[in-house]
Structure 1
Amino acid sequence: MAIKKAHAQTPLDTLRSDLEGEDRFCRERAHYRYVPPRPATYGDLDLDPRIAEVLAARGMERVYAHQAEGVAAARRGEHVVAMTPTASGKSLIYNLPVLEAALADPEARALYVFPLKGLEQDQVGGLDALMEALDLHPEPGPRERTPVRGAEVYDGDTPGHRRTKIRQRLPTALFTNPDMLHLGLLPHHDKWAKLFANLRYVVVDEIHTYRGVFGSHAAQVFRRLRRVARHYGSEPQFIACSATIANPGELAESLLGVSCTAVTDSGAPSGGKHFYFVNPQASPYTTATDLFLRCLETGLKSIAFTRARRATELVYQWAAERGGALAERISPYRAGFLPGERRAIEQRLFSGELDGVISTSALELGVDIGELDACVLVGYPGSVASTWQRAGRVGRRGEDAVIFLVAGNDALDQYFMRHPETFFERSHEAVVVDPANPRLLGQHLPCAAAELPLGADDPVYIGDDPDGFRGALADLEAGGDLRREGAAWYSALPGPQRAVGIRSIGPAFRILDEAGKPLGDLDGDRVLREAFPGAVYLHRGRNHRILELNLEGRYAVARPEKVHYYTRALSDEDTEVREVRRRRRGNRLIPHWGDLRITRRVTGYERRRTNDGKRIGTHNLDLPPTTFDTEGLWLPVTGAAQSAVREAGGDLPGALHAAEHAIIKMLPLFALCDATDVGGVSYPLFPPLGGPAIFVYDGYEGGIGFSRRGFETLGDWLTATLHALRACPCQAGCPSCVQDPQCGNANEPLDKGGAVALLAHWLGSAPPDRSRGVS
């Protein structure tokens, strides 16, 4: 009789067995699903023997089907966008055409554009190694100690002497980001004439990150790039790559302004994924820390993703305190770390020196950090696409991996805990940019005119919106930003690029210690809320207290201190309706959408205990206000709606405030945005309207379409909000429905029952029965 060989238990088997044998985990497990593995499918691709030999030496003897399809489209001269999962080998789709062009023509050049600096650094080494193996490095100059390589990074971290050398001895492939393209290369294109004259390919990776205001700005930068290249006689091909989204072709065409062939069927293999939804009875951060440590203790290399810098530092701090010997083998990772710190952490993780990392979304993108086995998501990432992108960071060896989605108290987290099948059945969100946005167009046309004169029939701009383009030229001329000479427009001011921030944030602030040593960076939009005098600032697991905030010098001074509390800013704001652009007529609700002016002021801050969140003190601040113009919608509250709230026993100010919070929490179901991308305010009396009103607005200068999307889907949006409030089992309101941890008024006042009554009145639904709670 044959003896069946026992299957050896893996560390993942051990972890799952231990967890599923624990009563607490079984109580907190809201859902489990196994996503089965997928085998590889291969394609045929004739390669130059030299390239084939170099790839084979690196273990790439066959190409996946999507790689073959993408390279074939590029060889036909088509613009290409490839959308396949994380770690599916998309980089070969753009590297192969670049290598083939370089072998055929030593003068051919390529420009690689990545949204973040870390991605440039990660990719440049791999391409340069291929170029060196193919003998594509430029000949070094006499006595050159650090010669220019075949692939070089040119960004804000590149030293000045190195920038000069790169311009003088141009590499085959130049790696940069949209910011340097906007501020460095395009305004000084005459210094890059050889690059633009010989530009064959423009690689744009991670295009799913180009959303909202950043994506719309970047769309303008890429149009300016096409103008400059055309001026020097080149028409480069674009090769773009994306994680899984609903509309890769549409996004690439909006972003780049060219028609693209979409490659969407992945041939790469993937391991199976054990997906657990966990709804903790205690703190989600405590539960996530426990799971992260359990994974590490079982021998699984792990990554934990949080939704905020502070959460990253807290989870790391707790894991290090409780991890014993593991503390030396884990690290935090987030934006705000200095470039050298980020590179060192990436290298330690890739080499195996680290077993685990706790990160914000900064490691969601394609930095190669080696092979990982477990992923802990500390809260729902905000979109289905981002959740799968983060989950795709594990299981790269074709083996099974485990993902824990640990729910926070936020409304969307709890929505999916109660309806997990909705997550797995829901399609990935679409990413939308607006290259014809008149405000952004008005900012970038002076930049384009400073680079090259503009004509009324400019082929790069005329295809988006001819009337809008010509109207913008006329408005800018009338406003003095452009001057006309004959049939051409020129910029009225030198260097207009410096006044345009393409990420729509204020200038970066440097966080310094008392000796002046840099600790990190914080963008200008966040500094008044997170680095005010007295604020607790976390860096690498250590608490620091902000001693000074210098707004003119753009820096804050921090001192390490052992404190057992955190701080939260308090603020107020004023709203001005500048123009009504759309309204709807209804019996119960007459919503409006249009232009708003928002003035915010941080008035003070709270100190809250770390262990239980209890408020232990409030302090006043005297900081300058910030004002910006944006788009938003507002919902006037009629007398009948006010009566409905009062008849239900509700407090009107609390009902408005609670409804405002709940509505904002549910917007990401209908617009690909984060709750922090939008703002809101409620008024028991808004004098210009003669009554109460709720406002929801885009949190960016000029607006970018989030509130417009909400206005277009208002009925479904309000219905989902009402369902979420009624489904939440709390009586008085909680973080899962109406409380907001970022509320500038410390969540006072709030009336959940009144909010339900208000929404029910607007939707013509049955009012709440107070005798049975608020449902």
Structure 2
Amino acid sequence: MEAYFTENLVSSIAEQSGFEILDRHVLPSRGARFLPVPSDLHDSIRDFVNQNYPGGLFCHQAKAIEASLEGDDICLSTSTASGKSLVFMAVTVDLILRSDTSKVLAFYPARALIQDQIEKWRAILKPFDINFGYIDGGVAMEKRLSILDTCRVVLMTPDVAHAWLMSNLGTHEIRNFLKSIRILILDEAHIYEGVFGTNMAYFLRRLQAVSKLERIITSTATLDNPSEFVYQITGRQPRSFGPEVDCSGSPQRSILLAREVTGKSFESMVGLLRRLARFNKGKFLAFGDTRRMVEQVVMALKRSPNEEDDQEEKNGHIGISEELNTKEGSVNNLKVPRVLPYRAGYETIDRNEIQKALAKGNLVGVISTSALELGIDIGEIDLIILLNQPPSMKAFWQRVGRGGRKRSGVCLFIDNRGTIADKPAGLRKYVDSPIEPSWLYLDNRYIQYTNALCAALEFREHGKDQYDTAPFNSLPSKFNKFLENEINPTEIIPHDLYPLKQRAQAGPHREFPIRTGMEKSFQVRDKFGSPLGTLTFSQSLREAYPGAVYYYMGRPYRVNRFKYRQGEIYVYREKYWTTRPKAWTMVFPNFEGGMLKLFRSDEGFVAESEMQVSERVTGFIEQRGSTKENHEYGPSSTFSQRELNRFFETTGVCWWFPVAYVNSEVMASRILEAFCFKFGVQRRDLGIGTFHSNTSPIGLEKCKGICIFDATHGSLRLTERLAENFAEVLEEAISFAQSQRDSLAIYELEELSRFVRDLRSEGIEDIQKIELDDEENWTKVIAPGEKGIYDSAKGPMEVLVLDHRYTPQGLMYELKHPKGRRKFDITTPLSKNVPLLERIVPKTGVKWLVAANTGRPGPGETRMVLVNLMTGESKPL
């Protein structure tokens, strides 16, 4: 009989590893209920389904198929392993058997999902001789058009559809394919939230504008309001089939709540996973919330306690197959258990090998980020381990649902925050908590504008008479204004959007990826050119900055070249050391004109406002055993001559009170943790920074406090509810501190709570604008000698404004880098005998002129003056 993890076995191993089992909750088994296959289904596919499912379909499957055959959009949000795929596959075959020209397009949010679903599609399409294919980033350009032309069903990632399909609408094969699409399938649609989801909402409407879609079938995890979610994403109202009609069967699952009791949480976690891997009683899947955590846990598993690994790279990157076949990967070797990490950003070949190895039993476990919340088939998993509390209830159910599909399963839930077990019926109440809504922010003007740039190009390529703008009616009106102005320009482009317009000259579809919005992406490569994952710029600042030890599949690599323009990062194999960046975050709120909400008292304030954020990495600290080494970037650095800097516009919540410790980053971290827990916002989507402003909402001349901001360029307004519910979030933070018995945190949080109790809401008044006489030609400019932000084609950069001047080309700023490199020139001497070194002299006053509408002040920091453009006269603002 096959061995697998049982509840008693998991409890015993957990206790041996330093954990105490605090509570237990059982999700009872559920019997299945069936209905006959709908009679309206085409005879051939109905016979096929009856042959493969002689007992009939789950009730929700049969009813969903009937609804789709009636011409309705449908949304399936039943539990994992409830047969959602069979619904849209059966409807697909029905359509194609009834029409010689109709085609179906299926979107999967990850390349790994496409590879996972290919065999399922083949099994149902092959008996009917229906050609199908897939197009993702790994499919060669020369093959793509043939796939569109010859296949009736095409699986695709939205990334490729946005970057390639929609940017080539004039191509004959693409035009014909779009005319033939009748059904669009959105599988694992719950992934579409945040920046990705907001871009997806615009993209799907752009797709509808150039195609002949009749039906959309959405498959998603359990959501709070699936119909509303689908409407936000697609602009269409579906018929919903959710948990209330779920008729699939499910075995019993046990959830064990545990707490670490030795005070060495990381060591206990590694010991737990090591024991589980050695026991060889089944397969487990462990979830962690950060990429760094996942990589470091696997790194620790690969090493014996107190061991220093000095293996250097000799032959480049070692693939998964070689990893599993090495002596280290042997099941009989107790030093390194067969456990690998899994996260977003891995190369396709590595992801596929991990999935196959786990499904075939060549691995005993995988430690993953949220990347394996998706419905990828990894075989039967007996044990799910939640290494920390998931960021949302939606994530919790997705993770729990990955185990115990065919037989009873166990979930070991580590209460790392101590916020569940200490409450009466804590685990039961947690399990019964409502699922949070999926966050989209369709009013983000940066996302609106980049999509308008794409839509304008699509409008021109597709043709005015065939382009259908009706799908845009469900979007904010600002998008339509942006689009109209791109098609028929009548208004000046706002200065903060102008750099996006410049970047779009290279092609907006490729310049603005659907997944990362406006953020630059980087490809990591080893010294042989082998790819080792992809990162966004913000991820690079945390994981792969110059000199960093970057971990890929549990292996360390040193970053030795950071090529920003090319979007490439080069690494070589390194020892098992760790680094952390010397990162500085400065926030510049716009309290004059950018205030969104204000709560104030005579002693302080809490304010939501627009702001600029500067994230800098000035070096790093390296840990080698117990030794720490400090490294600063600069002229003497072997890794980088200058610091890395990321500027972006966003919104956030600032607060200031007259006691220093309530304005600290430690306090902000406590508030942030409680806010994310209470409102289901993911920690990675928010940031913390100290703010500086020359003005204050309560009348102080200068103000310095703390801020929690939305880490997305342009903002998704994720912190909007923090300002409105600051007192409630504080209470949650106090509860966290009490459960962790942190007396200092309790004292400081209660002191902040005392200040917050006196706050009152205040209406936001428009900032009084100085009325100028147009005839006198007065205008507001950045004062000479002040720092500002220059919106270059490569992104915002900090500059020093030397002066301004009025030219035939308009108002210009004369700029200089405040921290620019010294530049040199070679003089021409009168005598030929002057040595070359003496002819090299520094160039002074390296500067350049830019249009004034590309320069802007730092909110609350940059001094402005009034200038008369005719007389040159200036006066204070």
1:211-256 deviation line (CA, Å, top 9, x unaligned)? 1121111100001011001xxxx23211001111212111110000
- Cα 1:351/1:122, change in 2 over 3 Å: same
1:190 partner SS: coil
- Aligned residue for 2:342? 333
- Picking from 235, 239, 250, the partner of 1:261 is 239
1:487-508 deviation line (CA, Å, top 9, x unaligned)? xxxx996833233232236332
- Picking from 255, 258, 273, the partner of 1:278 is 258
- Aligned residue for 1:499? 511
- Aligned residue for 1:557? 570
Q: Say if 2:447 is the partner of 1:443.
A: no
- Aligned residue for 1:92? 86
1:686-697 paired onto structure 2 within 5 Å: 686-689=693-696, 690-697=702-709
524-533 vs 578-587, greater mean Cα deviation: 578-587
- Cα 1:402/1:287, change in 2 over 3 Å: farther
- Aligned residue for 2:328? none
- Picking from 300, 305, 308, the partner of 2:287 is 305
- Picking from 270, 286, 294, the partner of 1:289 is 270
**Per-residue deviation, 1:478:** 4.5
Q: RMSD over aligned Cα, in angstroms? A: 3.0
Mark the structure with the bigger radius of gyration. 2
**Per-residue deviation, 1:448:** 1.1
Letter in 2 for 1:461: F
- Aligned residue for 2:418? 414
**Per-residue deviation, 1:470:** 3.6
Equivalents in 2 of 1:542, 1:466: separation in Å? 49
- Picking from 131, 141, 156, the partner of 1:176 is 156
- Aligned residue for 1:748? none
1:276-321 deviation line (CA, Å, top 9, x unaligned)? 1222134444333333344441512111112222322232233344
- Picking from 760, 763, 773, the partner of 2:754 is 760
**Per-residue deviation, 1:443:** 1.9
**Per-residue deviation, 1:53:** 4.3
Letter in 2 for 1:121: Q
- Cα 1:714/1:536, change in 2 over 3 Å: same
Q: Say if 2:193 is the partner of 1:189.
A: no
- Aligned residue for 2:613? 598
- Cα 1:763/1:75, change in 2 over 3 Å: same
In terms of fraction of residues, the more helix-rich structure is 1
Q: Say if 2:597 is the partner of 1:583.
A: yes
Equivalents in 1 of 2:200, 2:607: separation in Å? 30
**Per-residue deviation, 1:190:** 3.4
Tell me the TM-score normalised to structure 1 length: 0.83
- Picking from 658, 665, 668, the partner of 1:660 is 668
**Per-residue deviation, 1:59:** 5.3
1:418 partner SS: coil
- Aligned residue for 1:742? none
- Aligned residue for 2:472? 461
- Aligned residue for 2:439? 432
Letter in 1 for 2:735: H
Q: Is the 8 A contact 2:655 2:663 kept in 1?
A: no
Equivalents in 1 of 2:102, 2:201: separation in Å? 25
- Aligned residue for 2:316? none
Equivalents in 2 of 1:350, 1:86: separation in Å? 17
- Aligned residue for 2:728? 716
1:537 partner SS: strand
Q: Say if 2:68 is the partner of 1:74.
A: yes
- Aligned residue for 2:5? 12
**Per-residue deviation, 1:514:** 2.1
2:519 partner SS: coil
Letter in 2 for 1:406: I
- Cα 1:418/1:608, change in 2 over 3 Å: farther
- Cα 1:669/1:589, change in 2 over 3 Å: farther
- Picking from 315, 340, 353, the partner of 2:297 is 315
Q: Structure 2 regions of 5+ residues with no counterpart?
A: 305-330, 495-502, 634-641, 697-701, 760-877
1:17-416 paired onto structure 2 within 5 Å: 17=9, 19-20=11-12, 28-46=20-38, 47-55=41-49, 58=52, 61-136=55-130, 150-167=131-148, 169-191=149-171, 192-229=174-211, 234-264=212-242, 265-281=245-261, 282-296=263-277, 297-321=279-303, 324-325=332-333, 327=336, 329-397=338-406, 399-408=407-416, 413-416=417-420
1:591 partner SS: strand
2:742 partner SS: coil
- Picking from 533, 543, 556, the partner of 1:543 is 556
691-700 vs 281-290, greater mean Cα deviation: 281-290
Equivalents in 2 of 1:238, 1:631: separation in Å? 34
Equivalents in 2 of 1:312, 1:458: separation in Å? 45
1:418-450 deviation line (CA, Å, top 9, x unaligned)? 333341221111113233433322221221121
Equivalents in 2 of 1:720, 1:22: separation in Å? 29
Equivalents in 1 of 2:493, 2:583: separation in Å? 38
**Per-residue deviation, 1:90:** 0.9
Equivalents in 1 of 2:564, 2:19: separation in Å? 50
- Cα 1:714/1:43, change in 2 over 3 Å: farther
Tell me the TM-score normalised to structure 2 length: 0.74
Q: Say if 2:700 is the partner of 1:707.
A: no
- Aligned residue for 2:652? 632
701-710 vs 438-447, greater mean Cα deviation: 438-447
Q: Structure 1 regions of 5+ residues with no counterpart?
A: 1-7, 137-149, 483-490, 646-651, 734-751, 766-775
**Per-residue deviation, 1:417:** 4.2
535-544 vs 54-63, greater mean Cα deviation: 54-63
**Per-residue deviation, 1:349:** 1.9
- Aligned residue for 2:622? 607
- Picking from 545, 554, 573, the partner of 1:532 is 545
- Cα 1:355/1:224, change in 2 over 3 Å: same
2:170 partner SS: helix
Equivalents in 2 of 1:270, 1:699: separation in Å? 39
- Aligned residue for 2:774? none
Equivalents in 1 of 2:142, 2:219: separation in Å? 32
- Cα 1:565/1:329, change in 2 over 3 Å: closer
Q: Is the 8 A contact 1:247 1:431 kept in 2?
A: no
1:30-57 deviation line (CA, Å, top 9, x unaligned)? 3221221111122332244432443456
Equivalents in 2 of 1:607, 1:52: separation in Å? 63
Q: Is the 8 A contact 2:708 2:719 kept in 1?
A: yes
- Cα 1:294/1:43, change in 2 over 3 Å: farther
- Cα 1:9/1:355, change in 2 over 3 Å: closer
1:274 partner SS: strand
Equivalents in 2 of 1:424, 1:128: separation in Å? 38
205-214 vs 287-296, greater mean Cα deviation: 287-296
1:515-526 paired onto structure 2 within 5 Å: 515-526=528-539
- Cα 1:368/1:58, change in 2 over 3 Å: farther
Equivalents in 1 of 2:60, 2:468: separation in Å? 38
1:471-527 deviation line (CA, Å, top 9, x unaligned)? 774599345679xxxxxxxx9968332332322363322222222222222222211
Equivalents in 2 of 1:580, 1:726: separation in Å? 37
Letter in 1 for 2:471: V
- Aligned residue for 1:738? none
Letter in 1 for 2:230: A
- Cα 1:653/1:585, change in 2 over 3 Å: closer
Letter in 2 for 1:450: L
**Per-residue deviation, 1:109:** 0.5
Letter in 1 for 2:189: I
Q: Say if 2:527 is the partner of 1:514.
A: yes
- Aligned residue for 1:744? none
Equivalents in 1 of 2:124, 2:169: separation in Å? 28
Equivalents in 1 of 2:546, 2:628: separation in Å? 17
Equivalents in 2 of 1:391, 1:217: separation in Å? 29
Count of residue pairs brought into register by the alignment: 692
**Per-residue deviation, 1:332:** 2.3
**Per-residue deviation, 1:271:** 1.5
Equivalents in 2 of 1:498, 1:513: separation in Å? 25
2:644 partner SS: coil
